[in-house]
Chains A and B, each alone.
Chain A
Amino acid sequence: MKSHYLLVLSLTLSVAWSANTYAQLAIHGDIIYTSAGESIKDGMLVIRDGKISTIGKASEIRVPDGFRTIKAAVVTPGLIDSHCTVGLSGILNYDHDQDQIERSSPVQPQLRALDAYNSHEELVEWVRSFGITTIHTGHAPGELISGQTLVTKTIGNTVDDNLLCESRALAATLASVALKSGASSPGTRGKMMAMLRAELIKAQEYHSKVQAAEASEEQDPPPRDLRLETLSKVLARELPLMITAHRAQDINNALRLAREFNMEVWLDGGAEAYLLVDEIKQAGVPVIVHPTMIRPNGEYENFSFETAATLAKAGIPIALQAGYEAYVPKTRVVLFEAGMAAANGLSFQQALNAITIDAARLLKIDDRVGSLEVGKDGDVALYDGDPFEYTSHCIGVIINGKVVSEIKR
């Protein structure tokens, strides 16, 4: 009885609290890039209770009384980083703040970014101050299967506060960073693929046993196995397998694996993806293209600044990312990477889409974010000029209708 009463009270309080925290906002932009069709010159965007309630020509929209109006030269949707390790790979770069890779075993699908993401990490604030409101983050490339990724907004006291998806993809690596030396496995590319196939076949068998137990009262289900459960989701196409691969041969291996197990695969990195345009297109696989300014050594040595443009021209879905950095800068800023892609063959709108709506579609969060449309979350970035231009500034960031950054950066 008492607990029931408390529950009702707390629900009431939380509703009141959240209503109070929504600043009722209007944003007046010299130009609003909506990522949903035409941009709007002299546009107005109204956010009510955290959601976009109206968008259109400023001359045709009456801002409700009591709403704060913010002006900016350029307004875009809150930006989305399609793949980074922010929140797991901390600013200090000491062992104790580096949770992006677990070295105890090469295949650990059971690891969840959810349990590793530090919502107070300083680099979350850093990327947010450039207009990045949503990140797809998690375990880094570096092990054959390193763990599950999550999607969150770049604000929140705990990881749970603004989670968009607690398990978005399973991160796998088919690149030399996942190779081991000495007697440890995998030591070769052949062994990497053999180990992945063996694990996926084990998961198929596990899944068969689970299904058999569900169908029959006589058969007990197998003991729960968190590794194989996760891989079963991949096999059921519930969980995409994000495969980091740079060399053409590794990309081709990833496509072969996708065919054999009928998985939803995302290519990550893809330094040599331009060599396999037809194959990638035929496979229907999207590419989260490596940061445009990645250091092009090692497996990136045949990279091109123009890969994003080449893939986009061929009609392959792309998104852009900040990726993972082991040293300095500890994180890249996906706004800068998109700008450099726009300066190397992508159109302005293609580059903006690659960090807004196209990224949202890839991450399956486009019902909430990625464009400025009525009903979507009030996530907005404000700039004092072309957002991609070196000397422009992000002057404001809004998440769920709340101003979360007013740093001019």
Chain B
Amino acid sequence: MKFFLLATCIAISCSTALANSPTIAFKNCQLIPIDGPVIENGTLIVSGTKIKAIGKNDETPIPDDAKVIDVSGKVIMPGLVCTHSHIGGPAAGDRSGPIQPGVRVLDSLNILDSGFRRALAGGLTTLNIMPGSGHLSSGQTVYVKLRFGDVMPSTIEDILYVNDEGAPLGGLKMANGTNSMRDAPFPGTRGRSAYLVREQYIRAREYHSKIVDAEGDPAKLPPRDLHLETLIEAMQGKRIVHHHTHRHDDIITVLRLSKEFGFRVVLHHVSEGWKVADEIAAANVPCSMIMIDSPGGKLEARYLRFETGKILEEAGVRTAFHTDDPILDSRYFLRSAAIAVRAGMSREAALDGLTLAGAEMLDLQDQIGSLTPGKDADFIVLNGDPLSIYTKIQETWVGGERVFDRSDPDDRRYAVGGYGTGHDQSPYFCCYDQKQQGGSK
């Protein structure tokens, strides 16, 4: 497991970390580092793209060349990590078949989608962008860091996390339950859903055996198969399976398949996770939850409860949250954790679930998720308690650059407006910013 944790790269940020990179000190604020206790009257020092130091004001010397920003009364915490987002128009597998792990969501994303800017207004700095749940496997996910700094990204490549070979990092989307059950060639039942998945993983094992047996001899190597190659990556733990699953029995099916084939898995949504919390804990599998305002809307979510976070936490399960944007707007991500706290989850676990727990579920914990010296300078500045409805995200910083500023009228549109704000493909151009700026109707 650890070997590719270390491999997760810092490469992208390195390119901008110039020798004379500026040092900025944010002082007199409350710091929520996540990996340690809350620091009152603290100072955060950022150097270039990285966090350089964090501590109490009087214990954290500010370098002479640092630009000092007094953030009295503010709260700083790590940039939020969404383990499950559909921003950017992701569309991987098509309707031709239920299992398409070779298809990459990366190739479908639109960097001009205004959703990225709204996500920044919500304090999100890292996303796992997933294809949909209408397949047993709809394809490969991609991990992105929202580098919307002074130089705006012009292609999707500009926001990817990559390994030291430059290859994009991501997981594998899988699903079970009702979303992926439909007319043939899709499965019509849960039994067939699991069978189809097992068959593909067994084929992947056989394929891998052929590759091993070939011992590098090109004449003996099987023809490349992108689908099976991806499943091998999953079985080798190099690609985490992000598994949509709601009902208690579907959750158990995922654990069974994970055990049989050895893929590392994160359980996503887990509406009925509270029913099988002990089993999930025993399997040592983390969960990423969605907090919906009422149960139902689909049969699988009928028994969804606000208490799932509390129950999983008590069972010892590592839990994170996700927006599933557009199911929940990215701008309410803090709210998800707050609702879990409302239902009894600890404040510490809830804040961890917005940041470091999510980073671990993406194997990015060495790089992001906490205010730790050496990690990327991805953080948010709030004007109050992150779990209060009245608190506003004032600023979002990624890699030491401010990428959202609520006091900037242009950025503010993304904090309060709809999908039409700044959308490159808006079919109906209008209006809010014009009106606010006194423009004509």
Q: How far does the Cβ of B88 sit from chain A's closest Cβ, in whole Å?
A: 14
Return chain B residues, CB-CB under 8 Å to A126.
294-295
Q: A248, B431: Cβ atoms under 8 Å?
A: yes
**Per-position contact with B for A75-103: 1 when CB-CB < 8 Å, else 0?**
00000000000000011111000000000
Query: Within 8 Å CB of B338, what residues of A?
Result: 390-391
Task: Say how far B286's CB is from chain A's closest CB, in angstroms.
Answer: 22
Instruction: Give the contacts of B302-318 with A (CB-CB under 8 A).
Output: 302, 306
The binding surface of chain B is classed by DSSP as: loop
B295 adjacent to A91 (CB under 8 Å): yes
| Interface pair B296/A123, CB less than 8 Å apart | yes
Question: Is the beta-carbon distance between A389 and B428 smaller than 8 angstroms?
Answer: no
The CA of A343 and the CA of B334, in the complex, are separated in Å by: 14
Instruction: Determine how close the nearest CB of chain A comes to the CB of B21; give it in whole angstroms.
Output: 36
Q: Chain A residues near B423 (CB, 8 Å)? A: 301
Q: Quick check: is A296 within 8 A (CB to CB) of the other chain?
A: yes
B292 A302 Cβ-Cβ under 8 A: no
**How far apart sit A204 and B314, CA to CA, in the bound complex (Å)?**
66
User: Is B388 close to A, CB under 8 A?
Assistant: yes
Q: Are B387 and A329 within 8 A (Cβ)?
A: no
Q: How many residues of chain B are within 8 Å of chain A by beta carbon?
A: 39
* Per-position binary interface string of chain A over residues 268-306, scored 1 when its CB falls under 8 Å from any chain B CB and 0 otherwise: 000110110000000000000000010111001111111
The A-B contact count (CB < 8 A) is: 125
CB closest chain-A residue, reference B429: A302
**Are B416's CB and A409's CB within 8 A?**
no
Complex interface residues of chain B between 401 and 438 (CB less than 8 A to chain A): 416-421, 423, 426, 428, 430-432, 435
CA distance A304 to B416 in the complex (A): 5
Which residues of the other chain, B, contact A344 by a CB distance below 8 angstroms?
416
Q: Is the CB of A297 within 8 A of B339?
A: no
In angstroms, Cα B438 to Cα A339, docked, is: 28
- Indicate whether A108 reaches chain B with its CB closer than 8 angstroms: no
How long is the Cα–Cα vector from A302 to B390 in the complex, in angstroms? 23
| Alpha-carbon distance A271/B419, docked complex (angstroms) | 12
Q: B261 near A: Cβ within 8 Å?
A: no
Interface string of B177-195 (1 = CB under 8 A from A): 0000000000000000000
A137 contacts partner chain B, Cβ-Cβ < 8 Å: no
Say yes or no: is A388 at the interface (Cβ < 8 Å to chain B): yes
For the complex, is A325 an interface residue (Cβ under 8 Å from B)? Answer: yes
- Minimum CB–CB distance for A297 against chain B, Å: 5
Cβ of B219 under 8 Å from chain A = no
Would A300 and B299 count as touching, CB distance under 8 A? no
Interface assignment of B335: CB less than 8 Å from any CB of chain A: yes
**B297, B338, B387: most-surrounded residue (chain A CB, <10 A):** B297
Which residues of B from 217 to 268 have beta carbons under 8 Å from A? none
Closest 6 pairs between A and B when the two form their complex, measured CB to CB:
A296-B418, A91-B296, A390-B338, A301-B420, A328-B297, A330-B297
Instruction: Return 29 A-B CB contacts under 8 Å, by A number.
Output: A91-B294, A91-B295, A122-B296, A123-B296, A274-B432, A275-B435, A293-B329, A293-B332, A296-B329, A297-B418, A301-B419, A301-B420, A301-B423, A301-B426, A302-B421, A302-B428, A302-B431, A329-B297, A330-B295, A330-B296, A330-B297, A333-B293, A342-B389, A388-B389, A389-B389, A390-B335, A391-B341, A391-B387, A409-B306
| Chain B interface residues (CB < 8 Å from chain A) | 292-299, 301-302, 306, 326-327, 329, 332, 335, 338-339, 341-342, 387-390, 392, 416-421, 423, 426, 428, 430-432, 435, 441
A residues with a Cβ closer than 8 A to B are 90-94, 122-123, 126-127, 247-248, 271-272, 274-275, 293, 295-297, 300-306, 325, 327-333, 336, 339-340, 342-344, 388-393, 409
